[in-house]
Structure 1
């Protein structure tokens, strides 16, 4: 078993800087788990603490039920793939893959055989005698993964391994990485600040802010029902619209001059309660003529997303973004309305989601 359990894990650097603040996580055996958050939120520190490259100030790290908090990195039986891949430039692909086996004093013939076998699984057969400078970014990434796989670790720890690739290669590598993890059925902890990567790859996602875990859930859960305004503003390729409002009679919410549906959460609040009104751009319907229960404004920005357009309306209710079908004609400077889907509206009180 290679489940990873973090119990009240903390990390405080000299000078009183708190990088991890009582982190509690239970990562299941064979799960692809993503740590997602902005720069400086503590996600890489958390990964390095699991690996043993950072010493925990408090709490415990358990891998497969074993407390490894005090063990050095080499005795934790995990493999880490770094953002810059950390390949040895003077070594061939074979020697790079075999290096961890060499450290474990595996015989030369055996480690070369294992390196060749692992390389074959990742389509590196023809590159075994090349050095890193002779490889593309995607090939270097596969060599780094092969080096991690060669020791058959209990878990993979991946620190933004796709960030150095161009957009097209990143998509290909993302698909490859998910297929590889499914085939190996190995526990994988993946650090990223890219919401699309986290939602596409992970079985579950932990949203992190200021050294704390703000929400844990499946990609669908954190996208559809963010637990707080931080997760709501961070998750999604187009940020959620978050607008100050006030609850009205009949389950409606006033946002500036607009009165719009309050959604399922409105029933738990009283008229006059202040709220933050949340609705994703994907859950707004664009209208080119006046309609009730809608936000009104002037089209100020139209961004082409390929199969859709992201339209920004500026009005008395604030700045609102709505995703519009590619075939709809939208011109800057025109009046428009955005109608929220009532079943997709979320209300937040004191930063937390109203159930």
Structure 2
């Protein structure tokens, strides 16, 4: 296996579109690494540049101790699984799995044996003579994985391989993929726009925007301490509440409410400065009665999440979302109060996390 190191990697398309903007990144040997971000952020371009399917405009790529920046895709020792799986419709499962070995001119008997062995590992033995059109989406995905595994690459590259599956199958495939990668120990880069997938699968995540990495960290770090308001608004199944606040002598003013300054932040703030307060809906306690230090508003929307409810309160010039127990009776027009959990309140200055001070939320 091998690590992947990118240094000052640049990709500029005709017309001056800068898809990658001096990306510096190292994926460790054996790591499951996710590239996460909205459409157009550069994550797929970065993956394709690692694979050699896109030529970089500047910078270097190393896989292990080899500089592969200008090497052809077939010489980089990587295997890529595409969003649509890219299976050959006229070939059997056996032939699809064995195709990379055929390109490498592995003898026919040897590649058939290797295809059968790899298929058995992924539960595909009963489908070896079928063609892709005779398989379910999940089975096609496993064929694509088997094809990637058959040539024992140093690196797996996945371009949103779960996006074409239905919700239930995605969860099953996610668990399968995580277990498979752990067993194989192959360095893996996984591109997705689905933050739930990235949080569930990855050892580390790079959140991208505009061809740059906006935050790099473990799923826990990225979820609990977003480095900037972009990441804060992007990560989480329910987006973080980002509320304009002004630092006052008595605390943080948000509309008519005054919240206490979180422990550790006092020395880092200046009275009168404008900040953004961030708190996730999961870290707000809902009450139908006034509470000191709570944000208030009128219930405008109640969304059923199954085991909980997502309630939107319309407050002083802002909307506040809070996750509420499934048994709490709520109706539009009710007055509600949301009390932030003190150790989960974050503050942002000019878009970036305020980190000065011991004891800041973490």
Structure 1 residue 320: deviation in Å?
A: 0.4
Supply the distance in 2 between the matched residues of 1:344 and 1:4 (Cα, whole angstroms).
34
Q: Which residue of 2 aligns with 1:255?
A: 254
Structure 1 residue 267: deviation in Å?
A: 3.3
- Counterpart contact for 1:346–1:353, Cα < 8 Å: yes
Structure 2 counterpart SS, 1:207 = strand
Q: Which residue of 1 aligns with 2:282?
A: 282
Supply the distance in 1 between the matched residues of 2:45 and 2:287 (Cα, whole angstroms).
46
Supply the distance in 2 between the matched residues of 1:132 and 1:267 (Cα, whole angstroms).
63
Residues 127-276 of structure 1 mapped to structure 2, 5 A cutoff? 127-250=127-250, 252-263=251-262, 264-276=264-276
Supply the distance in 1 between the matched residues of 2:155 and 2:224 (Cα, whole angstroms).
29
Residues 63-74 of structure 1 mapped to structure 2, 5 A cutoff? 63-74=63-74
Deviation digits for residues 246-303 of structure 1, max 9, x if unmatched? 11225x2111111113324343111111101100000000000111101100001011
- Counterpart contact for 1:266–1:347, Cα < 8 Å: no
Please give the TM-score of this superposition, normalised by the length of structure 1: 0.98
Supply the distance in 1 between the matched residues of 2:124 and 2:336 (Cα, whole angstroms).
54
User: How many pairs are equivalent?
Assistant: 354
Residues 3-42 of structure 1 mapped to structure 2, 5 A cutoff? 3-42=3-42
Residues 65-104 of structure 1 mapped to structure 2, 5 A cutoff? 65-104=65-104
Q: Which residue of 1 aligns with 2:124?
A: 124
Structure 2 unaligned segments of length 5 or more: list them.
356-362
Structure 1 residue 65: deviation in Å?
A: 2.1
Structure 2 counterpart SS, 1:301 = strand
Structure 1 unaligned segments of length 5 or more: list them.
none
Q: CA RMSD in A?
A: 0.8
Please give the TM-score of this superposition, normalised by the length of structure 2: 0.97
- Counterpart contact for 1:2–1:154, Cα < 8 Å: yes
Supply the distance in 1 between the matched residues of 2:327 and 2:66 (Cα, whole angstroms).
57
Supply the distance in 2 between the matched residues of 1:321 and 1:267 (Cα, whole angstroms).
29
